[in-house]
Amino acid sequence: MNLVLVRGLCYIVASIFFVFGLKMLSSPTTARKGNMVSSIGMLIAIVTALTAMTDIKWAWIIAGAGVGSTIGALAARLVKMTSMPQMVGLFNGFGGLASLLVGWSEFHGRWADADATRLFTMVAIFLTVLTGGVTFSGSLVAFGKLAGMVTGKPMLYKGRNAVNAVILIAMVALGIFFCTQKIAQVDGAGLYIGFTGIIILALILGVLSTIGIGGADMPVVICLLNSYSGLAACAAGFVINNNVLIVSGSLVGASGLVLTSIMCKAMNRSLTNVLFSGFGSATSAKGAAYKGEAKPVSAEDAYLILEAASSVVFVPGYGMAVAQAQHVVRELGDLLADNGAEIKYCIHPVAGRMPGHMNVLLAEANVPYEQLVEPQDVNPTIEIVDVAIVIGANDVVNPAAREDESSPLWGMPVINVDHARTCIVLKRTLNPGFAGVDNPLFFKENTRMLFGDAKASIMLLVSEFKH
């Protein structure tokens, strides 16, 4: 059988594996299998691509595979779940960098004979370098914000949008010059200088377009950068004429854009603001200063409230991830269920530092999938919920989003825990969350503050139930 036909069939099989793997990733019950299916598809694609190469330096291939596999294995085993968002952001950046290097390599091999290069290929190289550079530098900034190396507050300056617009226009102008080099009849050195300018401007644009976004908006940014990395890979597929790279990049790019749209709706913000770097600037505004007297509660008194409850809703947030409290949360939920209470875990789409952060943590603790619900499933009947337990969440339960038009969170759909009969908030202090916005929930009449480490506090509640 023709080897070209065999390779084409292998690429189709790999693409099918990607599609089914992505579908399986949509459910926690099949996510592990989906990850394995996608990995097998990628293995098939890599082996097939290697067989199409005539001059392979196997020493470099084996060395690269070994180093990459080692880094991946160590990251999977050693990186804590609390650090998973910044690791995802970093991996997005590496994906963009890989695409940029592919485009650079292809151009480097063609620039001396530019007249033999088709316009389509030149455009593909330009788009690969553009999206790859923006993704790489933007992801590094997102990583810094999530890791606490860079301030989570938006870094704004006068004329920010104008500067970004000028850089974008300059990149487009250089791109036109670069792609139409046969018309311009420029010398090779001038073409390479223009290409280098595109790379530098792309890296600068990635930084400037991300530093102005507040830390609380990082889940949306992670989705968008993930989409960018997929689009960069797709463009790289056109550069090297690899069908499976085009398919996989398109899948990642499209799914990332869909998830970005979902995140925007969850925060009541527009996708246009994200794309044009105005996203998150609202978090720099000052909402009202809330005053009142918080009502602390001891673990013993909180136990008495929970022991009498017939319905309990857990609302996890980043604080649960920091405290690594997901296992004791599930244990407390099981004890409450044994006591006759109806248990639900309400997860806001932007809770945590990346999409699905809380879902992953609760799945790790073997929380039944049917107990996981979204805000629209809880809010209509929240008034009849006996106890809402907020574990480290802040912005996604802030009633200022409904009550205070001056708040940066105004209009954002939140979980209305303040409408429950009793709300128990587990927090170390009364400090605001990642968005830097004060929370009037702490001073509501039906709110009780259980101060301390979330894991330690819940372990005390579990101990009360057991004894």
Residue with tokens 């996608």: 38
Q: Which residue has the higher pLDDT, 343 or 218?
A: 343
Window from 41-50, 54-63, 84-93, 116-125 with minimum mean pLDDT? 116-125
pLDDT at 232: 93
pLDDT at 44: 93
pLDDT at 332: 93
Q: Using alpha carbons, list the distances in angstroms from residue 256 to 61, 271, 452, 464.
A: 30, 12, 37, 44
Query: Residue 415 and residue 405: Cα distance in Å, rounded?
Result: 17
pLDDT at 230: 93
pLDDT at 222: 85
Q: Is 395 in the active site?
A: yes
* Contact indicator for 206, 137 with CB cutoff of 8 Å: yes
Question: Region 65-91: what's the mean pLDDT?
Answer: 85
H or E element that contains 316 = strand 311-316
Q: What is the pLDDT of residues 334-385, one digit of tens each?
A: 999 999 999 999 999 888 777 778 888 888 888 888 899 989 999 999 999 9
Q: What is the pLDDT of residues 221-273, one digit of tens each?
A: 888 899 999 999 999 999 888 888 999 999 999 988 888 888 888 777 776 66
Taking 50 as the threshold, does the pLDDT of residue 120 lie above it?
yes
Q: What is the pLDDT of residues 26-55, one digit of tens each?
A: 777 788 899 999 999 999 999 888 887 777
Question: Region 139-164: what's the mean pLDDT?
Answer: 81
pLDDT at 289: 55
User: What confidence tier does 114 reach under pLDDT thresholds 50, 70, 90?
Assistant: low
Task: Assign residue 95 a region (left: φ > 0; alpha: ψ between -120 and 50; beta: otherwise).
Answer: alpha
Q: Which residues pair with 391 in a beta bridge?
A: 316, 426
- 217, 395, 404, 418: the catalytic one is 395
pLDDT at 13: 93
Task: Assign residue 289 a region (left: φ > 0; alpha: ψ between -120 and 50; beta: otherwise).
Answer: beta
Report all structural domains of the chain as residue ranges with CATH numbers, in order of start.
79-284 (no CATH), 299-466 (3.40.50.1220)
Question: Region 51-70: what's the mean pLDDT?
Answer: 86
| Residues whose CB falls within 8 Å of the CB of residue 370, separated by 6 or more in sequence, listed in order | none
Q: What is the pLDDT of residues 391-438, one digit of tens each?
A: 988 888 989 888 888 777 778 889 999 999 999 999 888 877 666 678
Interior angle at CA 354, CA 381 and CA 288, nearest 5? 60
Whether pTM > 0.85 for this model: the answer is no
Q: What is the pLDDT of residues 270-307, one digit of tens each?
A: 766 655 544 444 444 444 556 678 889 999 999 999 99
Structure tokens at 135: 């993704």
pLDDT at 279: 41
pLDDT at 321: 85
Residue with tokens 């009550």: 403
Window from 169-173, 189-193, 195-199, 298-302 with minimum mean pLDDT? 189-193
pLDDT at 287: 46
pLDDT at 284: 42
Q: Which residue has the higher pLDDT, 467 or 346?
A: 346
* Contact indicator for 272, 218 with CB cutoff of 8 Å: no
How does the average pLDDT of the chain come out, rounded? 84
pLDDT at 6: 84
**Percent of the chain at pLDDT exceeding 70:** 90
Window from 101-110, 250-259, 381-390, 449-458 with minimum mean pLDDT? 101-110
pLDDT at 216: 65
User: What confidence tier does 205 reach under pLDDT thresholds 50, 70, 90?
Assistant: very high
